[in-house]
Structure 1
Amino acid sequence: MPPVSPQSRLTAAIEITAEAAKVAMQHFRQVSRVETKADDSPVTVADRETERRIRNLLSARFPGEPVFGEEMGRSGNDSRTWIIDPIDGTRSFIAGLPLFGMLLGFHDPGGTSVGAIRMPALGEVYAGAAGLGAWRNGEPISASRCTALSQARLFINEGDKLALREPEVFGTLVRSAGLRRMGADCYGHALVAAGTVDAVVDFDLQPYDYLPVAAVVQAAGGIMTDWQGKPLTLDSDGRTLTAATPELHAQLLELVSP
């Protein structure tokens, strides 16, 4: 079979998440049963049905390609793989908060990774790939040019976990930046790509939380790494930094890894 172009994968990610969003929205503000997984995170029938729909659509368009999803694990051991988070922000979803997202990307360590961040309840999709650019609902977007943390709009994700496990880092972050907000899962990263937020510090993530997002942020001209400034991989430790510019990224690195 001929190789699949990044543009074809990006188009597929946008179209597949549009279809899968219909499944998620059928359950939004209708959740009656919530289960707890081994890691104490919640899961609903919406998570599972949405991921199943995405997998079926991927299988139809890219038969045999590896897939790594939050709810159904990995098929295949190739590092070039589709990555799925069917509902990023299940707690928001359960609470009826419209800031949950849906993540789908193709991770290609040796080539062009693509990603889509869909916000079903907001009617927004952010998508991008290196060399192709980034878009929100089809309109080009780019990260801001903010270079000073003192003037930055900073989102701090997983603030409760961060305060418990990294109290010094958390204390430093909440005293930094010109504007601070406790974040909302993937949406803050999407807003960095769109240029309305300048940085996000995130914590305790899995590959399906950060790899599709990183593709979009970087396509928009931003930076997303781990807390040591290293590129994100399937084996990263789940602590991430997203920044609009290298200067801002360097200042954040000093805060989280003094």
Structure 2
Amino acid sequence: MSPTPDEILPTLADDLALALRLADAADAVAMARFDAAGLRIDTKADRTHVTEADLATERAIREILDAERPGDAVLGEEYGTSGDTARRWVIDPIDGTHNYMRGIPIWATLIALSVGEVPMVGVVSQPALGRRWWAATGHGAWTNTPADEPRRIHVSAVDDVAKASVSFQSVEQWRDVDLLPALDRLTRAVWRDRGYGDALPYMWLAEGRLELVAEFGVKEYDVAALAPIVREAGGRFTAFDGSDRLDAGSSFATNGILHDDFFRLTHDEGTA
């Protein structure tokens, strides 16, 4: 007996191809209003900002998903959750809204597909910089080149904390969770530390340019697209507590080799 249409599930390669098309559509919408005069900006209930571009970009992604994957669930920053299935698309239409609204080109659209709560596909698109990164489990991690050719990426082979370069996002984040002593130990132990912010440092980690990115106060839609790219590039991506949960409110991404060393350094008060 031939399988029914409902039994013919898309492959991860199919899902990745769709995610890349979603990113194309999102780029077109977001760039149309980037650094535009009269950009409409509102304040949400949690006192963060949202622009007309955030809303329009998520709507554009959802419209395509409604047509291409009508049976899949969707979680988006701006319009919440629709559906309840094992396959769930996770969207942050503009990660870095505050940069976007100030005309700073460091912002991204994040698109992920989780299957059984495990992120399997991730796309990070930064059209204002002309950069994009993508991955699917078992398919490697990739980025575009200036000639728009795909290039496979891999985390660094740095195996000494003293030679590592790290991104801690912001001092305020660490203060808010009472971890300034841990941040102090970290920054004193490594070669170089910077607070780059948002999705970009995770992509630099996946490209082998950083060895650790740690962040607090994040939602699932902030990190779901990042995890498959870091992991397929050979790194490790956990929450700060070491769990694999994406809803733990934190992230702890490394080149893998130094993951345990960084974990001990930031969690053990007796480690210098």
TM-score by length of 1: 0.93
Question: 2:189 matched to which residue of 1?
Answer: 176
Aligned with 2:177 (options 152, 165, 170): 165
Aligned to 1:153: 165
1:223 partner amino acid: R
Q: Which residue of 2 aligns with 1:91?
A: 98
Alignment of 1:135-214 (within 5 A): 135-137=142-144, 138-166=150-178, 167-214=180-227
Instruction: Find the counterpart in structure 1 of residue 147 from structure 2.
Output: none
- Residue 23 of structure 2 corresponds to 17
Unaligned runs of 5+ in 2: 145-149
Partner AA of 1:241 in structure 2:
F
Which residue in the other structure is 1:238 paired with? 249
**CA displacement at 1:112 relative to structure 2:** 6.8
The whole-number CA distance in structure 2 between the counterparts of 1:144 and 1:28 is 33
- Between the two proteins, the alignment pairs up a number of residues equal to 255
- After the TM superposition, which of the residue ranges 43-52 and 223-232 deviates more from structure 2? 223-232
Match of 2:80 in 1: 73
Pick from 10, 20, 33 the counterpart of residue 4 of structure 1.
Answer: 10
Instruction: Label 1:171 to 1:14 Cα distance change in 2 as closer, same or farther (>3 A).
Output: same
Rounded to whole Å, the distance in 2 between the matches of 1:158 and 1:79 is 34
State the 1:108 CA deviation: 1.4
Q: Distance in 1 between matches of 2:260 and 2:89?
A: 30
Structure whose alpha-carbon radius of gyration is higher = 2
Task: Please list every run of 5 or more consecutive structure 1 residues that lacks an aligned counterpart in the other structure.
Answer: none
1:123 to 110, 113, 130: 130
Displacement after TM superposition at 1:198 (Å): 1.7
Give the TM-score normalised by the residue count of structure 2: 0.88
Q: Which runs of 4+ in 1 moved over 6 A?
A: none
Of 224, 231, 252 in structure 1, the residue corresponding to residue 237 of structure 2 is: 224
Contact 2:173 2:215 in 1 (8 A): no
The equivalent of 1:58 in structure 2 is 65
| Bigger shift: residues 48-57 or 172-181 | 172-181
Q: CA deviation at 1:192?
A: 1.0
Q: Is the 8 A contact 1:6 1:112 kept in 2?
A: no
CA distance in 2, matches of 1:252, 1:24: 36
Percentage of pairs with the same residue: 31
